[in-house]
Each structure stands twice: as C-alpha cells, then as structure tokens.
Amino acid sequence: MATDIIKVENLEKHFGELQVLKDVSLNVKPKEVVVIFGRSGSGKSTLLRCLNFLEYPTGGCIEVDGTRLEYGHPTRARRDAIRQIRMKAGMVFQEFNLFPHLTVMENLIEAPVTVRGESKKEATERGKELLDKVGLSEKADQYPIRLSGGQKQRVAIARALNMRPKIMLFDEPTSALDPELIGEVLAVMKKLAEEGMTMMVVSHEMGFAREVADRMCFFDDGVILEEGPPDQMIRDAQHERTKRFLEAVL
C-alpha cells in the first residue's frame, strides 16, 4: 500500500491561552477523501490552516508528500519547506477569496506564473482545460464580481488546481452559498475525487460525505474524537457527542 501523503503528528495550536488543537494525529493516503465535521469552534479550520501554515502550529509535526516540517520559528529552511508544502496543497476557502482586480483567467495563471515561473501561455493552456472541467469556459475574461457564488467557488477550485497540487484542502466550500448553488460545487469536487485527488474537506454536507468520502473524522474540542467509514459513522457512531451532533445535522 502506498505511503501516507499527509501525516499529522501530535499537532497542537494555541492562540495565547486558548488551546485550539490538542494533540491531533491523522494520516491520509494518496487518493483518499477525508471529510472532517464537528461543531463550530471545535478547530476544524485551524487544522486545515495549520496544514499549509496559514497558521503556525505550536507543537507537533506535519508532512505533506515527503516534505516534513516540525513546529517552530520561521527560519530560512523552514520558510522554504512551507513554500514547498503550499505548492503541494491547494486550498479552497469558504469565502472564495478570488482576486477582484483580475479576470477569471488571470486569477488562474497568477500563481503559476509568479511562483512557478511558468510562461503565461503554458499556464493559460492548462487554465483553459481547468475552466472546461469546472464548466466555466465562457467566463475566462470576466471579472469575479460578475459571477454567482457557485461560479466563484468553481473558479477558486480551478485556480488552486492550476498550481498542480498533490492534495486539496476545502474549508466549508459550500457554506457561503445559496442552497441551489451548492450542488454545482459538490459535483466538481466529486469529479475531482473520482480523478484520484487526495482531499481533506471540512463540510457538513452529509450526502456528499456518504457518497464521496473514504473516511469521516468527527472533530470535537480540538481532538479527533472518532473516525471511520461514512456509512458506519452516520449509522452507528460510538460516542454520544458524535451521535448528538449527527442527529442535529441530518
């Protein structure tokens, strides 16, 4: 069996006095789709954001596709490793965060050109394919403000993919969307999973989890309280807290 592409070992994160992550360990295999769920404030976003160092862990270790990084102050070597990890991990935010001063295609090629040093032509070629994949070929020259929420999020996914990441992190990608727009984003994510992308998804879309996820993790108060295959998890969770939470969202 392939070695784990994501390894999280004894991860801790404090915000001052507040400890948000308490000794979290988690391994993800290539092509695996992990859905993380749990109540608000339990630390789900913080976990994802620690994975690409938008937050600096205050303890533990992270490894993404062979690039390993212990917690600690940012030294030159560490910054280099962070850059490596960020290139390997695409991230999709709840609020899309498209660049409003750039067109859709410019959004897609910005990082490949400035970070990877690709030619505009090369990045645009791939960008076209990706827009095609998310069903937005005709929007290449539009500015983000002209797009619906669902379209924005699909562009955001394509933008992350244009960096050719090894894994994708989704932080509640459909929570800011009107209900009728959620489906189009989930469909793109499902397609991505079928193509073999390794994904960590914070989401409360249980239908999506059941259909697409290989594993679900219930996050509670800074720890992974319980994990397992979606069917088992949804049908008979072990912990009382997990059961209660699932009853509330289902």
Partner 1 sequence: MAEARATLGGLGKPKEARAPGLSYQWRKTISYAAIAVVLIGVFIFFQFDTDFMMLWFPYIGRGVVYTLILSFGGMALAIPLALLGALGRLSRSAVLNSISAFYVSFFRGTPLLVQVFFIYYAFPQLAFRPGVPGFLEPVLVLDIIFAGILALGLNYGAYMTEIFRSGIQSIGHGQVEAAHALAMSPRQTTRRIVLPQALRVIIPPTGNDFIAMLKDSSLVGVAGSVTELFNRAQTTGRAEVHPFETLAIAALVYWALTGVFTFFQNKLERRVARGHFREQVHGH
Ligand X SMILES: Nc1ncnc2c1ncn2[C@@H]1O[C@H](COP(=O)(O)OP(=O)(O)OP(=O)(O)O)[C@@H](O)[C@H]1O
Task: By CB under 8 A, name the one of 146, 235, 239, 244 that touches partner 1.
Answer: 146
Q: How far is the CB of 200 from ligand X (least distance, A)?
A: 13
Contact characters 169-208, partner 1, x per CB under 8 A: ----------------------------------------
126 binds, among ligand X, Mg ion, partner 1, none (CB under 5 to 8 A by kind): none
For residue 106, give the nearest of 159, 165, 168 by alpha carbon: 159
CA distances from 156 to 20, 218, 226, 228 (A): 27, 26, 31, 29
Q: Does the protein bind partner 1 through residue 139 (CB under 8 A)? A: no
Strand ranges for 124-248 from DSSP E: 167-171, 198-202, 215-220, 223-228
Rg (CA), the chain: 18
State how far the Cα of 190 lies from the Cα of 187, in Å rounded to an integer: 5
Residue 159 near residue 104, CB atoms below 8 Å: no
Element (H, E) at 247: helix 240-249
Task: By CB under 8 A, name the one of 143, 149, 227, 241 that touches partner 1.
Answer: 143
249 binds, among ligand X, Mg ion, partner 1, none (CB under 5 to 8 A by kind): none
Contact characters 29-48, ligand X, x per CB under 6 A: -----------xxxxxxx--
State how far the Cα of 62 lies from the Cα of 41, in Å rounded to an integer: 22
Within 48-67, the residues that bind partner 1 by CB under 8 A are 52, 54
Contact characters 5-34, partner 1, x per CB under 8 A: ------------------------------
State how far the Cα of 28 lies from the Cα of 167, in Å rounded to an integer: 10
Which residues form the interface with ligand X (CB under 6 A)? 15, 18, 20, 40-46
Q: Which residues bind partner 1 (CB under 8 A)?
A: 52, 54, 83, 86-87, 89-91, 93, 95, 97-102, 110-111, 114-115, 143, 145-146, 159-160, 163
